[in-house]
Amino acid sequence: MEKLIFSCLLFSFLYGCSSKNSKINISEDTTQIVNITIDPTSDLAETATTIYANALDLPEFKHCIDLGGALISDDYGIHILQNDSTQQTFFLFDEFAGRDKQGMPSWQLLDTLIIPGIGLNIGWTGNVMYEGEIDPEIIVLLPDNTDWMDSEKFTDIKKAWRFDRTQKRINEISTAGLVCLNDMYSID
């Protein structure tokens, strides 16, 4: 029952934060990016724990499409979902919660970032270098005119976030010193 109440509250919040301009583009306005974090030390966190096998099974994301996911360590992962009707993209940060009897993993939702716009150019975790080293916790947004065919690296980065495993939050970070590798470069 508590999970249902939390899901309804979260859905109401997500719906209330949705863009009023269905043609919004991330390059036009980034002030509407919203972080939804539950403080793990709060009373709400105990009742609001969201465990799932597939993020699309959560009521808040039932109208989304799954753009993919990635592990950033053995115990932490990300998922990126997109809702075409609300013109929003969701970055989900989750922690491994266990396995069922069939060995299927389940995840605990730690933090969610809502970005207005769809069809965004995302530099995925595992492809972003900070000061010359791959940093698995960083994800970036690239410009709309990104050349995916002829560019091996991208340095023109619009926004960057860290999926911080210590704080269990998605935190915006500076783009200084970041380079995004194009994992599609030279693939015909």
pLDDT in tens, 10-60: 333 333 333 333 333 333 444 455 555 444 444 434 444 589 999 998 999
Q: What is the tens place of the pLDDT at every residue in 68-102?
A: 999 999 999 999 999 999 999 999 999 999 999 99
Report whether 163 contacts 93 (CB < 8 A). yes
Beta strands in 22-168 (DSSP E): 34-37, 51-52, 65-71, 76-83, 88-99, 105-116, 121-123, 128-130, 133-134, 138-142, 153-154, 159-164
Alpha helices by DSSP H, 1-71? 2-16, 43-47
Domain boundaries, the chain: 2-181
Q: What is the tens place of the pLDDT at every residue in 125-173?
A: 999 999 999 999 999 999 988 787 788 899 999 999 999 999 999 999 9
